[in-house]
Amino acid sequence: MSLLVTGIGELVTNDPATGTLHDAALVADGERIAWIGPAAQAPAADDRLDVQGRAVIPGFVDSHAHPVFAGDRAAEFAARMAGEPYTGGGIRTTVAATRAAGDDDLRSGIRRLLTEMRRQGTTTVEMKSGYGLTVADEVRSLRLAAEVTPETTFLGAHVVPAEYAGRPDDYVALVSGPMLEAVTPYARWVDVFCERGAFDGDQARAILTAGAKAGLGLRIHANQLGAGPGVRLAVELGAASADHCTHLSDADVDALAGSDTVATLLPGAEFSTRSPYPDARRLLDAGVTVALATDCNPGSSYTTSMPFCIALAVRDMRMTPAEAVWAATAGGARALRRDDVGVLRVGARADLVVLDAPSHLHLAYRPGVPLISTVLHDGVPQ
Ligand SMILES: [Zn+2]
């Protein structure tokens, strides 16, 4: 089946060869885009969707999310808003709830969040494990995530679980040995929470190096709560993405600028922990590739909304609306080393969002307003 989407007032393609088109149309043939051009020259197709002057952008690529968990931490959020600091210690609360949950509960939680994401325009999502922290629970988390996305990430190194208190190196040996071996069939990526109170630079290096040897791509949680070695380690090891990047030295920024490692910024985390935002302008001006993602998790950023992250990035991180939309689409694709999503060009996946607005500018200009009119995923209206 082919579908002609026509009457597009503004078509943001993210394809440098095409740019942004007006009075445009595109044809999705099955799961792929088959044609893009002026509406007046559009070929015939089996079906037709006239969007009547609305803007169309690529589907959002949420390249950093933790949707495999049970329970919530609303009380912790309320306490934090009343003045308690965020330390990451609440992760263990979610670990206990996740271990206690049945497969069906975890599966329905993942699908509920995926439905929220789709309704807000996300068509590609990365999903991390990291609330199991035993071999069996990490395998289960990734197996369930792999049912809905190919972008699965092993985050056994999220925190040291309570049963390994006082002997973190034994846990690092488990994560980089038997646990890694068991999850590899279900994971595309390996990630480490490299932060004071979680894993230090040497531990992160051991886990990421083992992951690379097992054939997994590398990502890292780095420099979120303070300065640290995470960003430079990511660049040194050729990681696809260094995520958070809130506390960066000039050397960190220079390292990112001279690398293929994307800086993935997660403003939902700073919003929900009432922390200073990363300086996206500094990164962009240095030539760093920037992505935006939700960090969807029950502790520090319980949002599934890429439009919300775009609004924060524009208002509080000095990104232009165009830069923020690019970072939430093409930037996320770069962070996942994908060239078939985050862009609308012939041959790319037919994943796109019709906005209930004439321009992409409205995503930041009208924060909190449901502007997602229609989502096409694999060429199928959702
Ligand atoms: Zn995260």
CB atoms < 10 A from the CB of 136, how many? Answer: 11
- pLDDT class for 87, splitting at 50, 70, 90? low
User: Distance, CA 95 to ligand 1 centroid (Å)?
Assistant: 14
Domains of the chain, residue spans: 2-59+343-381, 60-335
For residue range 257-310, list pLDDT tens digits in order.
999 999 999 999 999 999 999 999 999 999 999 999 999 999 999 999 999 999
Distance of alpha carbon 369 from alpha carbon 382, whole angstroms: 19
* Ligand 1 centroid – CA 100 distance (Å): 22
Å from CA of 41 to ligand 1 middle: 45
Ligand 1 centroid distance, CA of 327 (Å):
17
pTM of the shown model? 0.97
For residue 347, report the distance from its CA to the centre of ligand 1, in Å: 31
Distance 355 CA to ligand 1 centre (A): 28
Cα–ligand 1 centroid distance for 337 (angstroms): 18
Which pLDDT score, from 0 to 100, does residue 374 have? 97
Q: Tell me how far the alpha carbon of residue 202 lies from the centroid of ligand 1, in angstroms.
A: 20
What distance in angstroms lies between residue 9's CA and the mean position of ligand 1's atoms? 36
Centre of ligand 1 from the C-alpha of residue 92, in Å: 14
Taking the centre of ligand 1 as the mean of its atom positions, its distance from the CA of residue 48, in whole angstroms, is 40
Compute the distance from residue 182 Cα to the ligand 1 centre, in Å.
22
Distance from the alpha carbon of residue 128 to the mean position of ligand 1, in angstroms: 8
pLDDT at 362 over 80: yes
Q: Tell me, which fold does domain 2-59+343-381 have in CATH?
A: Urease, subunit C; domain 1 (2.30.40)
CA of 116 to the centre of ligand 1 (A): 18
Q: What is the pLDDT of residue 91?
A: 87
217 forms bridges with which residues in the sheet? 189
349 C-alpha to center of ligand 1: Å?
26
| Ligand 1 centroid – CA 218 distance (Å) | 14
The rounded percent of the chain whose pLDDT value lies above 90 is 95
> If you measure from the C-alpha of residue 64 to the centroid of ligand 1, how many angstroms do you get, rounded to a whole number?
6
Q: Which pLDDT does position 92 carry in this prediction?
A: 87
The alpha carbon of 224 and the centre of ligand 1 are apart by a number of angstroms equal to 10
Q: 65 CA to middle of ligand 1, Å?
A: 6
In angstroms, the CA 44 to CA 28 distance is 11
Q: pLDDT band at 192, cuts 50/70/90?
A: very high
Task: Out of 85-94, 178-187, 204-213, pick the least confident.
Answer: 85-94
Ligand 1 center to 346 CA (angstroms): 33
Q: State in Å: Cα 154 to ligand 1 middle.
A: 12
54-to-26, 59, 373 alpha-carbon distances in Å: 13, 15, 9
The alpha carbon of 192 and the centre of ligand 1 are apart by a number of angstroms equal to 9
The first and second tokens of residue 233, run together, are 């380690």
Percent of the chain with pLDDT over 70: 99
Model pLDDT, residue 95: 96
In this structure, which topology does domain 60-335 adopt according to CATH?
Answer: TIM Barrel (3.20.20)
